Structure 1
Amino acid sequence: MEKTILIICEAGISASLLVSKILETIKEKRLNYVIDYAPVSRVQEKLDFKNYDVLLLTPQVARHKEKIQKIIDQKKCTSEIVFIKPEDFQYMNVEKIISAL
């Protein structure tokens, strides 16, 4: 079964490297994940078009959890919010990040 994941970062720049590494890993492991990413300012727009299984928040946007939860509630989404640990993000520990999904 396919799992859809939206990685949310501050401006979209820091997540691009993370997305590349996650895509490599899911391809190697043959996981059926669809990855997308967006800055926190575009979360509502993304959720207007798709209900993601997981919203994966980078450490920089963890402070926006309430705002994101409000958007989820308004859109009646079933998305689960998962936080990337700062050390896993800093060292791009994709194995640990994926295991949290």
Structure 2
Amino acid sequence: MEKRILIICEAGISASLLVSKMLETLRDEGLDYEVDYAPMKRIQEKLSYTNYDVLLLTPQVARYKEEVQKIIEQEKCVSKIIFMKSEDFQYMNVEKIINEL
């Protein structure tokens, strides 16, 4: 079963690298996941077009928790919300991140 994952980041630079690594690992493990990312300023736009199973928030986004929660409520989003651990994001430990999904 395919899962849709949206990685929410502050600007998108390191998240794009994380998406590439995640897609490579998911493909190697034979998992059928769709992975996308969006900076904070594009969350509402993304959620208005697509239903995601998981919203994966980078450590930098944790300070926007209330703002993200409001957007999620406005869009009637029922996604599972996961805050990435700093060390997992910093070291791009995608296996550990995937296990939390």
Instruction: Give the TM interval when normalised to the shorter protein.
Output: over 0.9
Question: Alignment identity in percent?
Answer: 72
User: How many pairs does the alignment contain?
Assistant: 101
Per-residue CA deviation, residues 24-71 of structure 1 (Å, 9 max, x unaligned), is 000000111100001011000001101111110010111111111111
- Which runs of structure 2 are paired with 1:18-29 in the superposition (5 Å)? 18-29=18-29
TM-score by length of 2: 0.96
Secondary structure of the 1:14 match is helix
Counterpart residue type for residue 55 of structure 2:
L
Secondary structure of the 2:92 match is coil
Counterpart residue type for residue 96 of structure 2:
K
- Which runs of structure 2 are paired with 1:58-77 in the superposition (5 Å)? 58-77=58-77
Cα distance in 2 between the residues matched to 1:64 and 1:99: 24
Secondary structure of the 1:51 match is coil
Aligned-pair CA distance for 1:4: 0.3
Counterpart residue type for residue 16 of structure 1:
S
Counterpart residue type for residue 75 of structure 2:
K
Cα distance in 2 between the residues matched to 1:25 and 1:54: 17
TM-score by length of 1: 0.96
Cα distance in 2 between the residues matched to 1:66 and 1:98: 25
Q: Say yes or no: does 1:42 pair with 2:42.
A: yes
Q: Which structure 1 residue ranges, 5 or more long, are not aligned?
A: none
User: Partner of 1:3 in structure 2?
Assistant: 3
User: Partner of 2:97 in structure 1?
Assistant: 97
Q: Which structure 2 residue ranges, 5 or more long, are not aligned?
A: none
